[in-house]
Amino acid sequence: MSLLAVENLDCRYGLLQAVRGVSFEIAQGETFALIGANGAGKTTLLRSIAGAHKPHAGRVTLDGVDITSLPAHRRVALGIALVPEGRRLFPTLTVEENLRIAAARNSTGRWNMKSVLEVFPILQPRRHMPASTLSGGEQQAVAIGRALMTNPRLLLLDEVSLGLAPIVVDAVYRSLIDILQEGATVVLVEQDLTRALKVSDRVTCMLEGRIVLQGEARSLDRNQVVGAYFGLRRPASGSASA
């Protein structure tokens, strides 16, 4: 059975329909990249999985259990962790305090203060500094680390490279690849096609709220992906779904 299933999801902001009839499934251990231009509906979809946006219609199930109407904090307890766009750290708290705040009680999972600091070595010398004094890349590392501290079964990452210099993105992705190789199940919203294709098992492209292309990352043709991304042409058949 899939870990996550999204079925015919519709999300709205008033009259604006941001997500239109989206369906997909994610298996345990899979890295699933969501790509698409600005306004395609990626963040809204991710927030609906996390319980931060109430869908207008459709279903979200985790391990076959319908969680569509569960509030966000209950989904965290079930193992869904969102790293939001913009990181949303507590600026006056230190790195360690930001991490500790998220630690799941009685958690016996892989992630704790020690293992998070090991996977993000750039945070080691910063651990007692307020989050507001960190660079963008360091803050992003704290945001991902904070999500890991909940020992999630499903990690949702929204544009981890946004606003970061390429060299910093490389450092964040190096840590991320270690996390993925350990078998984490991840939905990754990423504007950078090259990175998305490189790190993920499966790629889904959204355009104006709909899925316009879906397939195994290694078998997708880059031109086809670029076409779907910009809405230049619809793929003829096979992996396309409208």
| Minimum CB distance to ligand ATP, residue 50 (Å) | 13
Q: Are 142 and 86 in contact (CB under 8 A)?
A: no
Nearer to ligand ATP, 43 or 98 (CB): 43
C-alpha to C-alpha distance for 97 and 34, rounded to whole angstroms: 31
| Minimum CB distance to ligand ATP, residue 52 (Å) | 11
Q: Are 231 and 63 in contact (CB under 8 A)?
A: no
C-alpha to C-alpha distance for 62 and 69, rounded to whole angstroms: 12
Nearer to ligand ATP, 39 or 231 (CB): 39
| Minimum CB distance to ligand ATP, residue 144 (Å) | 18
| Minimum CB distance to ligand ATP, residue 54 (Å) | 12
Beta-carbon contacts of residue 137 (< 8 Å; ≥ 6 apart): 122, 164, 165, 168, 169, 171, 172
| Minimum CB distance to ligand ATP, residue 160 (Å) | 13
Nearer to ligand ATP, 18 or 157 (CB): 18
Nearer to ligand ATP, 41 or 79 (CB): 41
C-alpha to C-alpha distance for 111 and 140, rounded to whole angstroms: 17
Nearer to ligand ATP, 99 or 169 (CB): 169
Phi/psi of residue 211, each to 5°?
A: -80, 125
| Minimum CB distance to ligand ATP, residue 83 (Å) | 14
Nearer to ligand ATP, 36 or 58 (CB): 36
| Minimum CB distance to ligand ATP, residue 169 (Å) | 16
Tokens of 86: 């913009």
Contact residues for ligand ATP, defined by CB under 6 A: 13, 16, 18, 36, 38-44
Nearer to ligand ATP, 103 or 197 (CB): 197
